[in-house]
Amino acid sequence: MTAREAGAGCAGPESLTWKSGYGRAYALSSLTLLAIGVVALSSQRAVADEGGVSFWLPGTYGSLAAVPGQPGWSFATFNYYASVNAGKGVDFVRGGGVQAGVKSRGDFQFFVPTYVFATPVLGGQASVSVGGLFGNNATSVFGTLAGPGGNSISGSRSDSITGIGDLYPTAALSWNQGVNNFMTYLTGDIPVGEYDANRLSNLGLGHGAVDTGGGYTYFDPQTGHEFSAVIGATYNFINPATHYQNGIDAHLDWGASQFLSEHVHVGAVGYFYDQLTGDSGSGAKLGSFESRVIGIGPQIGFLFPAGDMQGYVNLKGYGEFDAHDRASGWNVWLTLSISPAAPAAPVAAKN
């Protein structure tokens, strides 16, 4: 999931050109969102599957997601804060039993170094990334319907954890054809984060996962109009600690923006998440557990010079609705990215 501009004195969008700064923003923003895209996180943000938690974080991709970036190293970090809950009528397999009425809050800081290769691969631009996180997750439940060993338990329960999460490697290819841009990616989960099957709160999934997909971006530097969409699917491996295997998940992230100046863009972002197949394994005590959710919200971004590099800050947020078999609520992302600047446009020689 998820991520510019017209000169400050421009009269309107019709006066925008690549020379007015779009080239620099174009490359930086795509690298920012590529870096974010590596983080298909395992935060305890109750979104589906075992414990109401999925590998894919809806909102990972956003505006300019398919645009190729500039060759070299870049670095992105972003804070992700989410608050979600489900009523007492929504149950989850979590913390060693079947829990009713889950409420969760996550505050995570992600760190994502990215390298973009200069040599073309299959006619496109290749990149690799590895993401990780440090943060806090706090979860509470209103009641436990069934505890370990088949015992019946009632009342409330809560816990909290602070530490590191799983690792998320990503490889991607991007192509540019004028105003049209295309990309494909492959990412996954390396389960090395803080995880205990008997805890309500965790920072890791407890199992591996593989996710792949593709995306498209329309971007016209002349007008500053942009629209992006990325679709993908996740295959989850079985959790060896709980003998629970999540079903196949599908997701669609999108973003649309308009450049207002050389340094500022505004727009909207959204996502659609849906579990295609039911959960399985001896630990899937609730049987086929399929969920979905839709999210939408605003975004604003700011581009600035950082020495011989380019900096970018983006703030976006989502409100969720149409949730099924999952906790839902809202989430906010604050991103900072430092990337190689695009080469300056050549200056025509004077006669």
pLDDT computed for residue 72 by the predictor: 95
pLDDT surpassing 60 at residue 50: no
> How many whole angstroms from its chain centre is CA 107?
14
Q: What digits encode the pLDDT tens for the residues 60-97?
A: 999 999 999 899 999 999 999 999 887 655 555 554 45
Residue closest to 242 by CA, chosen among 207, 193, 276, 203? 207
- Write the CA distances from 266 to 227, 261, 299, 314, integer angstroms: 12, 10, 6, 10
pLDDT digits (tens, 9 = 90+) for 92-150: 555 445 555 678 899 999 999 999 999 999 999 999 999 999 999 998 877 655 555 55
Per the structure block, which two tokens stand in for 27?
Answer: 């490359």
Give the count of beta carbons closer than 10 Å to the beta carbon of residue 166.
29
- Number of domains the chain is built from: 1
pLDDT, average across residues 336-345: 82
pLDDT of residue 287: 58
Q: What percentage of the chain carries pLDDT values higher than 70?
A: 72
At 80, list the tokens: 């992700």
SS3 content of the chain, % helix, strand, coil (to 5): 10, 55, 40
Whole-number pLDDT of residue 37: 42
Q: How far apart are CA 292 and CA 104, in angstroms?
A: 17
Residue 18 has pLDDT above 90, yes or no: no
Find the mean pLDDT for residues 17-39.
Answer: 43
Single pTM value for the model: 0.80
Residue 2 in domain: no
pLDDT at 222: 87
Q: Does residue 116 form part of some domain?
A: yes
Q: Mean per-residue pLDDT for 263-289?
A: 83
Give 32-43 pLDDT, tens digit per residue.
Answer: 444 444 343 333
Distance CA 297, CA 315 (A): 11
| Whether the Cβ atoms of residue 164 and residue 195 lie closer than 8 Å to each other | no
Q: In whole angstroms, how far apart are CA 215 and each of 98, 168, 231, 234, 337?
A: 37, 19, 6, 15, 21
Q: What is the pLDDT of residue 27?
A: 47
Domain annotation covers residue 196:
yes
pLDDT for position 289: 61
Beta-bridged to residue 316, according to DSSP, are: 299, 333
Residue 235: domain span:
13-340
Q: What are phi and psi for residue 308, nearest 5 degrees?
A: -90, 10
Q: What's the rounded Cα separation, in Å, for the pair 331 and 46?
A: 12
Q: Please, what is the average pLDDT of the chain?
A: 79
Among residues 276, 232, 235, the alpha carbon closest in space to that of 251 is found at 232
| pLDDT exceeds cutoff 90 at 231 | yes
What CA–CA distance (Å, rounded) separates 160 from 55? 20
Q: What are the pLDDT digits (tens) for 287-340? A: 566 778 999 999 999 999 998 899 999 999 999 998 877 778 999 999 999 999
* CA distance readout (Å), 253 to 73, 248, 271, 294: 25, 17, 4, 10
Q: Which of 5-14, 44-53, 68-77, 101-110 has the lowest mean pLDDT?
A: 5-14
Instruction: For residue range 286-295, list pLDDT tens digits in order.
Output: 656 677 899 9
2-10 average pLDDT score? 26
Residues in the chain, overall count:
351
Quick check: is 351 in a domain? no
| CATH number reported for the structural domain that contains residue 271 in this entry | 2.40.160.40
Please state, in angstroms and as integers, the Cα–Cα distance from residue 101 to each residue in 1, 92, 93, 280, 320, following that order. Answer: 28, 8, 11, 22, 17
How far, in Å, CA of 37 to CA of 59, rounded?
A: 9
5 belongs to a structural domain: no
The pLDDT value given to residue 60: 93
Does residue 156 form part of some domain? Answer: yes
The pLDDT, as a whole number, for residue 200 is 80
Please indicate, yes or no, if residue 150 is contained in any of the structural domains: yes
What pLDDT does 328 receive? 82
Residue 59 lies inside a defined structural domain of this protein: yes
Question: Tokens for 187?
Answer: 């990412």
